[in-house]
Amino acid sequence: MTATVNADPQELAKFSELAHRWWDPNSEFKPLHQINPLRLDWIDSLARLPGRRVVDVGCGGGILAESMARRGASVLGIDLATKPLRVAQLHAMEAGVEQLQYREVPAEALAVEMPGAFDVVTCMEMLEHVPEPASIVRACHALVKPGGWVFFSTINRNAKAFVFAIVGAEHVLKLLPKGTHEYARFIRPSELAQWCRDAGLVLQQTRGMEYNPLTQRCWLSGDTSVNYLVACRKPA
Ligand code: SAH
């Protein structure tokens, strides 16, 4: 990989090391398994997945990508970590899910190769691991068709997010390995909204995603103070 790629090799290595446990619902990826039905339903309710062409940017082991393909979308998952992509591919093959492909390619490069090729772009829990998130947002805008949907989710940057997402999740509850998240890379909703506008995307909805680790329940709300999701559209 060249130095010009918008990726942090240490971040990619972290995800590669854990890749073999990606589909174990009790592993480090438990939170992703638990939030998946919620985000899948939300995306589907807005963009109507069946028959859509979707690219999932930073797909990892494919939890969301595979679930969108099962809903009837034709999905391409991209990531820059090799092992998670292999795990994703193997899981799709074993599960016999069709209309699901994976590629190791930077979002920015795919945007040049396939501009406007997708009805829907998803980019979940990924921007906070990237050196230049605004560049990913611009690539997502380039990948989507006019009138298409782009979805992001990430973690807010404030004292509460620090306590919940780092101290609570990594140190107290040990839901995530220590060092999973770096506070300075968290993104305020206002910052993400600005990057979306600068890229030419129009914000449609922002929702908070709350999680109770005791009951292991998660739900969408108006509280964006820790985890949140954003839905945008490219003007038709
Ligand atoms: N989006 C998936 C996985 C989230 S984990 C989900 O929500 O279920 C974060 C993922 O981002 C990892 O798979 C990691 O390899 C990927 N990632 C980190 N930096 C990246 C980059 N620059 N380009 C593409 N993927 C990246």
Give the start-to-end residue ranges of the domains of the chain.
26-55+104-233
Distance CA 79, CA 14 (A): 13
Spell out, as residue ranges, where the chain has pLDDT lower than 50.
Answer: 1-2
How far is Cα 178 from Cα 114, in angstroms, rounded to an integer?
37
pLDDT of residue 175: 86
Closest CA to 156 of 123, 120, 200, 193: 193
Give the model's pLDDT for residue 27. Answer: 93
Q: Is residue 143 lining ligand 1, measured as CB closer than 6 Å?
A: no
Contact 179, 11 (CB under 8 A): no
Q: Do 35 and 43 meet the contact criterion of CB atoms below 8 Å apart?
A: no
What does the pLDDT read at residue 1?
Answer: 46
- C-alpha 126 to ligand 1 mean position (Å): 5
**pLDDT of amino acid 214:** 81
pTM: 0.96
Residue 91 vs residues 50, 102, 214: alpha-carbon distances, Å: 21, 11, 29
Nearest residue (by CA) to ligand 1, atom 3, is 60
pLDDT at 3: 52
26-55+104-233 placed in CATH 3.40.50.150: yes
Q: How far is the CA of 171 from the centre of ligand 1 (A)?
A: 22
205 C-alpha to center of ligand 1: Å?
22
Q: Which of 22, 79, 103 to mutate to test the pocket of ligand 1 (most atoms within 8 A of CB)?
A: 79
Question: What pLDDT score was predicted for residue 44?
Answer: 98
Q: What is the model's pLDDT at position 215?
A: 87
